[in-house]
Structure 1
Amino acid sequence: MLRTLLSPRLVGLHLVTIAVLISFAFLGRWQLGVFEESGRAHVLSDPAPVELTTLVPAGERMPPESASRRVAARGTYDASRQLLVAERAPTVESGGGAATGGDDGYWLLTPLTLSDGTVTPVVRGWVPSAADPATAVPGGTVTVTGRVQPSEPTDFARRRTAPLPAGQVATVSTSELVNVWRGVRLRDGFLVATSQAGTPSPAGQAARQVAVPPPTERGGFTWRNLAYAAQWWIFAGFAVFMWFHFVRDTLRGGRPADEEGPGEDAVEGARA
């Protein structure tokens, strides 16, 4: 049997089968990778900043497609209404969700009054403690550039077991800020500042910038590629099936597949 299995013809078949299996397995894994990549979030184009007033209309909900877009807003800060957003890291989770853990500190949430009288909440930066000098609010007219974020869900605040001190909030929620900053025309969402031009901070020290991811788009799985992957692996299984049957039939014949012997008719003729 070993002599038959190692005959030149079957050795060639073994090598061809191994090459087919490796190729089909690789092609199937490649198609599976394409399928997995299609479902991942992709970074969208990040155009130049636009005016906040054109991207977030006053009195309307912020469009979902505006999340993480770069915007610019010009106005004056209202230092008397500044709030601290408690238990925050110097980053914003994708999608505007509340970010906790890590270097917990405070976001500086300051209302910015625009030229049309409307107010947009601005996260000016992050500080490690409420007594940090960078909490001082700059006066005069400032131009803030940053990324706009949707209003955060209020259920995050309900998970707290202890109330926050006065002047602190758990979320940047438009529905809650309307009740805190009474008497203002508040725009939906909030602006996370990445740069500021105008009057410097009175303390001469800027807060740490809060990082915001660029806008992303959730991919849609291309099921066709998953079917292609399964197809290649089925082909590989079929190749093994054919190899097995060919080898089995050869072994049942009792002689190497490439060995030439006298035909059956010739044997019968010799016996006669």
Structure 2
Amino acid sequence: MWGAHLLGLICVAAATGMGVWQHDAWQERRAAERVDLTEAEPVPLAEVLGPDDPFPAGDVGRPVRLAGTWLPEGTALVTGREDEDGRAGRWVVTPLTVGGPADPAVPVVRGWVPDDTDVADLPAPDPGEAELVGWLQPPEGSGMADDDPSDDVLPQLRIADIVQRVDQDLYGAYVVARAPTQTDAAAGLAPATLDQLPPAGRFTALRNLLYAIEWWVFAAFAGFIWWRYVRDATRLPPAQEAGAGDDPEDAVLSGE
């Protein structure tokens, strides 16, 4: 039976390998779609999200354009952030009104600073109307407790914590600026890294996933055919099986 065993092993291994290959292709295409969204052409924030709208899950990481006035009194530092080299630091977050000075605002991550930086050491945002491009992100809310609610350092970027610092309503999202302004860059603010990536669409690369499942079904079928063949080839004829139950010695002689 060595030939049957070898053929069955080859068929099962080949079908399983093809299934794994299609599954990896499915994951790679989904990962590529996620990165592609962050590199898409920026669109106005109003086309993606309104002041009172829930966050659109399919637009995590989408580049948006916004213009308005900075609200420096709402500036805060968010701890637990690393730069591109893995150094621990803080995000500098300042709300920016979307439109006029009294319009709703969206928190903007202006850049990254080392861990020992204080709000008093930060440069004031540029006065007048500002325009920027950044990546849209959902608000954070992991339940981390703020050890000192009276200071300007936050453990996470929650809209509820920022809204207490300004008079305007806030959007249910924040934006990570692609690059610091000239003033911030001159003061030593580094670009903030994008923490989250957008989820891939539900049907992205679905064909690859179905192909993977199909190949695994083929592998299971090949294994079943091998098992049936081996079972049928090693089973005694019906007459011998009947005699085997009466006299074990006769069964052995008949088998020989």
TM-score by length of 2: 0.70
1:243 is displaced (CA, Å) by 4.9
Partner of 1:209: 191
**Residues 132-159 of structure 1, C-alpha deviation per residue, up to 9 Å, x if partnerless?**
998313313332111011111151x23x
CA distance in 2, matches of 1:134, 1:237: 71
Tell me what 1:63 maps to. Answer: 56
In terms of fraction of residues, the more helix-rich structure is 2
Aligned residue pair count? 221
Native 8 Å contact 2:44 2:66 kept in 1: yes
Report the alpha carbon displacement of residue 226 of structure 1 after superposing the two structures with TM: 3.7
Q: 2:130 matched to 1:146?
A: no
1:205 maps to amino acid: A
1:171 aligned to 2:165? no
Residue aligned with 1:195, SS = coil
Give runs of aligned pairs for residues 7-18 of structure 1, distance below 5 A: 14-15=2-3, 17-18=5-6
Q: CA deviation at 1:110?
A: 0.7
Which amino acid is 2:91 matched to?
W
Q: Report % sequence identity.
A: 19
Counterparts of 1:209 and 1:203, CA distance in 2? 9
Coordinate RMSD, CA, aligned: 3.4
Which one of 69, 92, 97 corresponds to residue 108 of structure 1?
Answer: 92
SS of 2:161 mapped into structure 1: helix
Look up the match of 1:137: 124
Report if the CA contact (8 A) 1:134-1:201 is conserved.
no
For 1:53, which of 46, 50, 59 is the aligned residue?
Answer: 46
Structure 2 gaps, min length 5 = 237-256
Calculate the TM-score normalised by the size of structure 1.
0.66
Task: Please say if residues 180 and 191 of structure 2, whose CA atoms lie closer than 8 Å, have aligned partners that are also in contact.
Answer: no
| Structure 1 equivalent of residue 108 of structure 2 | 122
Is the 2:63–2:134 Cα contact (8 Å) retained in structure 1? yes
Q: Which runs of 5+ in 1 are unaligned?
A: 1-12, 92-101, 250-272
- The structure having more radius of gyration, on CA atoms, is 1
Alignment partner, residue 22 of structure 2: 34
**Counterpart Cα distance in 2 of 1:208 and 1:202:** 8
CA displacement, residues 95-128 of structure 1 (integer Å, 9 cap, x when unaligned): xxxxxxx633211011112323221100111111
Preserved CA contact (<8 Å) 1:77 1:137: no
Distance in structure 2 (CA, Å) of the matches to 1:75 and 1:146: 14
